[in-house]
């Protein structure tokens, strides 16, 4: 993690937030390469799940919603984590996280009851990570929603909340979507956007932050006639998520599909699978898949007084659809993809030697579609005629690809720089190029070089950069 965090800062992927003022704990800003990487993830997701499916539509809903939304959704009452305070040093922790960390190999059954949680902490001698005391207060439920006020007066009447999930924007628009898109069940609504949670223990770089982005789908299905009718859709979405993870370059052996038992699931869920990944700091949730039943539509219908039922055009039956919800964290996708891509490789002594005789390269082996920069154009020397030929190639390629132009330092060092940010192709313009109208194209992973005619370069790159999902 330390190496990755340092690379992110050094090369402009991710910076600490508000850094010139000493930072703001656990806030992060995406730099020029980070934003390209993140956008590639979001764009591919949107293309795959909205544009390329006939059963999906997209939305972009407000961050601040009517407070009644959060009453109906149960977030005001239930969206909380157990906060436990060390009576000696007054540091606060999530009781369930302390127990979960201890439970490896110990199999502690984590209870939702605060008194039981306290007993378990004492029984298993789980001490304060800060001061080492074993003196816990009774855990209290702490609501994770960020509260603010509409207008100049800070009163309870004006209190509003930043959304803790993008999902509710889609539920409250269900009727609008039915009326305008003429979709028939089953169909889904997708949204990418920010969510906010006042996490008790944020941390591990961009893994757990208080402001983060989600890519969520609410997939509406017919109300199950038989108990397990929803399972087929649930299984289909689990397969879609598996395929996505494979295409993101995540190795299957680091992934775990964990069924969340009764009592530990979110208040709205009848079944949840957490897709967990072996992060360097432990096995943690990457994505989630939940069967939300008709919980949300039913509560919004009751609270708003609006009829949110679906009219089946074939049977003329009116009913509330049920919902399967696959959900992806954007930041966690970035983190997992970067961890998988990070490689340190020994180079054969003759290969691409730099002046400092570095025989190791750091290379981000992103799947090519994901790489923030696709092509680097490197004139062999800064000599006038080479630079101008290389700039000509660059001007043409930027119409199709995200490119970088770099003419400083030795070619070996420039290759290393591009390896470190995961650029799949380096195009070198050399003196021969002026004669044979061809360039050398170097592959990031194999370091093999091809001589390609400039007139055929775009076609060559398109062929090699297009990923057949």
Residue 464 bridge partners (DSSP): none
State which of residues 175, 208, 417, 442 lies at the interface with ligand GAP (CB under 6 A): 208
Using CB under 6 A as the binding rule, whether residue 236 contacts ligand GAP is answered as no
Distances, alpha carbon 420 to alpha carbons 6, 7, 10, 149, in Å? 12, 8, 10, 45
Cβ distance to ligand GAP smaller for residue 197 or 300: 197
Cβ distance to ligand GAP smaller for residue 146 or 401: 146
Cβ distance to ligand GAP smaller for residue 243 or 437: 243
Using CB under 6 A as the binding rule, whether residue 191 contacts ligand GAP is answered as no
Using CB under 6 A as the binding rule, whether residue 165 contacts ligand GAP is answered as yes
CB of 56: closest distance to ligand GAP in angstroms?
17
Cβ distance to ligand GAP smaller for residue 285 or 407: 285
State which of residues 70, 136, 174, 212 lies at the interface with ligand GAP (CB under 6 A): 212
Q: Are 56 and 50 spatial neighbours (Cβ–Cβ below 8 Å)? A: yes
Query: Who's near 235: CB < 8 A, 6+ residues apart?
Result: none
Ranked by CB distance to ligand GAP, the top (closest) residue is 329
Cβ distance to ligand GAP smaller for residue 85 or 276: 276
The C-alpha angle 246, 251, 252, rounded to 5 degrees, equals: 80
Using CB under 6 A as the binding rule, whether residue 331 contacts ligand GAP is answered as yes
Using CB under 6 A as the binding rule, whether residue 389 contacts ligand GAP is answered as no
Using CB under 6 A as the binding rule, whether residue 209 contacts ligand GAP is answered as yes
Stretch touching ligand GAP by CB under 6 A, among 131-139, 211-219, 334-342, 430-438 = 211-219
Cβ distance to ligand GAP smaller for residue 205 or 425: 205
Burial of 62 (0-12, 13-18, 19+ CB in 10 A): exposed
Element (H, E) at 73: helix 67-73
State which of residues 299, 327, 428, 440 lies at the interface with ligand GAP (CB under 6 A): 327
Structure-token pair, residue 397:
């390629």
Beta pairing, strands 375-379 & 403-405:
parallel
C-beta contacts of 18-25 below 8 A and 24+ residues apart: 25/202
Q: Smallest Cα–Cα separation from 219: which of 150, 296, 109, 129? A: 296
State which of residues 163, 300, 322, 332 lies at the interface with ligand GAP (CB under 6 A): 332
State whether residue 399 is helix, strand or coil. coil
Using CB under 6 A as the binding rule, whether residue 329 contacts ligand GAP is answered as yes
Site map 283..322 versus ligand GAP, x via CB under 6 A: --xxxx----------------------------------
CB of 379: closest distance to ligand GAP in angstroms?
42
Stretch touching ligand GAP by CB under 6 A, among 103-111, 209-217, 400-408, 443-451 = 209-217
Cβ distance to ligand GAP smaller for residue 73 or 440: 73
Look-up: residue for tokens 């030697």?
353
Residue 140 bridge partners (DSSP): 83
Stretch touching ligand GAP by CB under 6 A, among 6-14, 28-36, 323-331, 444-452 = 323-331
Helical H segments across 342-410, by residue range? 384-397
State which of residues 40, 191, 214, 293 lies at the interface with ligand GAP (CB under 6 A): 214
Site map 249..288 versus ligand GAP, x via CB under 6 A: ------------------------------------xxxx
Stretch touching ligand GAP by CB under 6 A, among 18-26, 54-62, 210-218, 426-434 = 210-218
| HEC profile of 152-219 | CCCCHHHEEEECCCCHHHHHCCHHHHHHHHCCCCCEEEEEEEEEECCCCCCECCCCECCEEEEEEEEE
CB of 148: closest distance to ligand GAP in angstroms?
18
Cβ distance to ligand GAP smaller for residue 208 or 444: 208
Using CB under 6 A as the binding rule, whether residue 170 contacts ligand GAP is answered as no
User: For ligand GAP, how many residues bind (rule: CB under 6 A)?
Assistant: 18
Stretch touching ligand GAP by CB under 6 A, among 62-70, 212-220, 223-231, 305-313 = 212-220
Length in residues, the chain = 469
| HEC profile of 401-444 | CCEEECCCCCHHHHHHHHHHHCCCEEEEECHHHHHHCEEEEEEC
CA distance linking residue 3 with residue 7, whole number of Å:
6
CA distance linking residue 285 with residue 100, whole number of Å:
13
Q: If you count DSSP H runs as helices and E runs as strands, how many of each does the chain have, helices first?
A: 15, 24
CA distance linking residue 426 with residue 403, whole number of Å:
10
- Judged by the rule CB under 6 A, the positions of this chain that interact with ligand GAP are 165, 167, 197, 199, 208-209, 212, 214, 216, 285-288, 325, 327, 329, 331-332
């Amino acid at each position: 993690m330390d190496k990755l965090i340092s690379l992110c800062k050094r090369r402009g992927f991710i910076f600490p937030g508000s850094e010139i003022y000493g930072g703001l704990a656990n806030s992060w800003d995406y730099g020029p390469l980070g934003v390209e990487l993140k956008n590639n993830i979001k764009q591919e997701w949107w293309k795959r799940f909205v544009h390329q499916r006939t059963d999906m539509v997209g939305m972009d809903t407000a961050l601040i919603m009517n407070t009644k939304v959060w009453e109906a959704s149960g977030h005001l009452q239930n969206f909380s984590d157990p906060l436990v305070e060390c009576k000696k040093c007054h540091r606060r922790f999530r009781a369930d996280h302390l127990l979960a960390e201890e439970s490896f190999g110990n199999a502690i059954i984590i209870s939702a009851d605060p008194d039981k949680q306290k007993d378990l902490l004492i029984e298993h001698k789980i001490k304060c990570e800060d001061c080492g005391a074993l003196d816990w207060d009774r855990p209290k439920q702490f609501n994770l929603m960020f509260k603010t006020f509409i207008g100049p007066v800070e009163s309870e009447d004006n209190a509003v909340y930043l959304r803790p999930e993008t999902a509710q924007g889609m539920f409250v628009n269900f009727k609008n979507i039915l009326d305008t898109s003429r979709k028939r069940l089953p169909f889904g609504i997708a949204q990418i956007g920010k969510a906010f949670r006042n996490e008790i223990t944020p941390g591990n770089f961009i893994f757990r932050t208080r402001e983060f982005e989600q890519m969520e789908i609410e997939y509406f299905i017919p109300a199950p006639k038989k108990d397990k009718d929803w399972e087929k859709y649930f299984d289909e979405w689990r397969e879609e998520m598996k395929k996505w993870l494979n295409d993101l370059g995540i190795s299957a052996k680091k992934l775990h599909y964990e069924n969340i038992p009764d009592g530990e699931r979110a208040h709205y869920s009848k079944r949840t699978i957490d897709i967990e990944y072996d992060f360097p700091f432990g096995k943690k949730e990457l994505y989630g898949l939940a069967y939300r039943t008709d919980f949300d539509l039913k509560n919004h219908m009751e609270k708003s007084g609006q009829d949110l039922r679906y009219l089946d055009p074939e049977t003329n039956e009116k009913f509330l659809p049920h919902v399967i919800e696959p959900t992806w964290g954007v930041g966690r996708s970035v983190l997992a993809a970067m961890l998988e891509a990070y490689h340190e490789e020994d180079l054969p002594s003759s290969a691409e030697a730099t002046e400092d005789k570095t025989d190791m390269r750091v290379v981000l082996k992103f799947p090519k579609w994901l790489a923030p920069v696709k092509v680097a154009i490197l004139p062999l020397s800064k000599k006038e005629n080479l630079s101008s030929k290389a700039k000509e190639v660059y001007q043409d390629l930027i119409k199709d690809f995200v490119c970088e132009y770099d003419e400083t330092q030795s070619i070996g060092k420039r290759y290393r720089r591009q390896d470190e940010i995961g650029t799949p192709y380096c195009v070198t313009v050399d003196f021969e190029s002026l004669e044979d109208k061809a360039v050398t194209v170097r592959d990031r992973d194999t370091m093999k070089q091809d001589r390609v005619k400039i007139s055929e370069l775009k076609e060559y790159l398109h062929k090699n950069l297009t990923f057949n999902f």
